[in-house]
Amino acid sequence: MLCKICKTKGKREKAVINLRHHKLALCKEHFIEWFEKHTLKTIEKFKMFSKNGKIGIAVSGGKDSLSLWYLLTKAGYETVGIHISLGIKANDYSEKSLELCKQMAERINRPLITFNLPDEFGYPIEKIAQLSGRDSVCSVCGTFKRYIMNKLALKENLEAIATGHNLDDESAVLLSNTLRWDTGYLGRQYPVLLEKGGFARKVKPFCFFTEKEIVSYAILNEIEFMETGCPNSEKATSPVYKQALALLEHKMPGTKLRFYKEFIKKARPIFEAVNKEEIKLVPCEKCGTPTTADVCSVCRILEKVKNAKSREN
């Protein structure tokens, strides 16, 4: 298969990727160009951030976040990587993830802020989940990651926190929320979450790219990333929704992109309007983070951990 753009210029360059849902086969040079142009278009369209502020990239060591950090720096944004080390020992997951983030920081010559969760909160994430009596490590992990990212964004005066969420992630979340008709979440799902009442702005510049497109971008740019996922991801439910969507995508290319884009355009404004009522936020009694209850969810989990530990002793 030949590159479609090269063909229009009378050149015969072999395509390295065939984007079935865009009916576009591209060579290395034109794929990288296409990918970067579309990222910048998404940033502009959703007014994600500017070139005047500092952008924090939540880097896990995976393909999405490292590619995003690399691309935004290349495009001239002032970036800083933020990595939360969770203390996950299996497969040396946390150690290897940190190493890959450091490697990227060195390559693009940008600072990396590292937050070591066991050092700061006393235990690795799995132990915190276990001691707090929660079944799902991932839901505790998500709560802590959001909390820490927000604190760091405010401390570092960041214009926004950018995450590497891709189309596969976003369409899987959308499918899960739709199957439950969770109108609250459906009203909030969007490429940008504006700053509000002590919460930093969060943006997803890769939300229209598939995993395959991002892996290709990473490989073509020789970005080293964690090829195995977090050992706890097997217990997560999102792979089930991803599999269902992959089947639909295989039979009908473009399904995922249509599902997500049309949701944003047509359905999300309806759910947003339904949930117009402002949620009242108050500072957490213990740490000051904005919360709907007297004490925020992280402080509540830490309290349970403390109680469980004192019962053990």
Question: What is the nearest approach in angstroms of ligand SF4 to the Cβ of residue 230?
Answer: 3
Interaction partner, residue 284 (ligand SF4, Zn ion, none; CB < 5-8 Å by kind): Zn ion
Asked if 142 interacts with ligand SF4 (CB under 6 A), we say: yes
Look up tokens 């849902």; give the residue. Answer: 21
Asked if 5 interacts with ligand SF4 (CB under 6 A), we say: no
Nearer of residues 42 and 143 to ligand SF4, judged by Cβ: 143
The 24-53 contact track toward Zn ion, x by CB under 5 A, reads ---x--x-----------------------
Indicate which single residue of 150, 232, 291, 297 sits in contact with ligand SF4 (rule: CB under 6 A): 232
Question: What is the nearest approach in angstroms of ligand SF4 to the Cβ of residue 243?
Answer: 16
Asked if 141 interacts with ligand SF4 (CB under 6 A), we say: yes
Asked if 148 interacts with ligand SF4 (CB under 6 A), we say: no
Query: 114 vs 59, 98, 128, 182, 228, CA distance in Å?
Result: 10, 8, 19, 34, 21
Interaction partner, residue 6 (Zn ion, ligand SF4, none; CB < 5-8 Å by kind): Zn ion
- Buried b / exposed e over 12-47, threshold 16 CB at 10 Å, is ebebbbebebeebbbbbebbbebbeebbeebbeebe
Asked if 236 interacts with ligand SF4 (CB under 6 A), we say: yes
Asked if 138 interacts with ligand SF4 (CB under 6 A), we say: yes
Interaction partner, residue 287 (Zn ion, ligand SF4, none; CB < 5-8 Å by kind): Zn ion
Asked if 39 interacts with ligand SF4 (CB under 6 A), we say: no
Asked if 307 interacts with ligand SF4 (CB under 6 A), we say: no
Question: What is the nearest approach in angstroms of ligand SF4 to the Cβ of residue 298?
Answer: 14
Question: What is the nearest approach in angstroms of ligand SF4 to the Cβ of residue 139?
Answer: 8
Asked if 32 interacts with ligand SF4 (CB under 6 A), we say: no
Q: Where is the binding site for ATP, in residues?
A: 58-60, 64, 84, 164, 169
Asked if 160 interacts with Zn ion (CB under 5 A), we say: no
- Using CB under 6 A as the binding rule, the residues of this chain from 118 to 137 that contact ligand SF4 are 125, 137
Question: What is the nearest approach in angstroms of ligand SF4 to the Cβ of residue 83?
Answer: 12
Question: What is the nearest approach in angstroms of ligand SF4 to the Cβ of residue 138?
Answer: 3
Output the DSSP codes for the chain.
-B-HHHHHTT---B-SEEEGGGTEEE-HHHHHHHHHHHHHHHHHHTT---SSSEEEEE--SSHHHHHHHHHHHHTT-EEEEEEEE----GGGHHHHHHHHHHHHHHHHT--EEEEEHHHHHSS-HHHHHHHTT-S-HHHHHHHHHHHHHHHHHHHTT-SEEE----HHHHHHHHHHHHHTT-HHHHHH-SSEE--BTTB--EE-TTTTS-HHHHHHHHHHTT-----S--GGGGG-SHHHHHHHHHHHHHHSTTHHHHHHHHIIIIIHHHHHHHT-SPPP-EE-TTT--EESSSS-HHHHHHHHHHHHHHHH-
Where on the chain is the footprint of ligand SF4 (CB under 6 A)?
125, 137-138, 141-142, 230, 232-233, 236
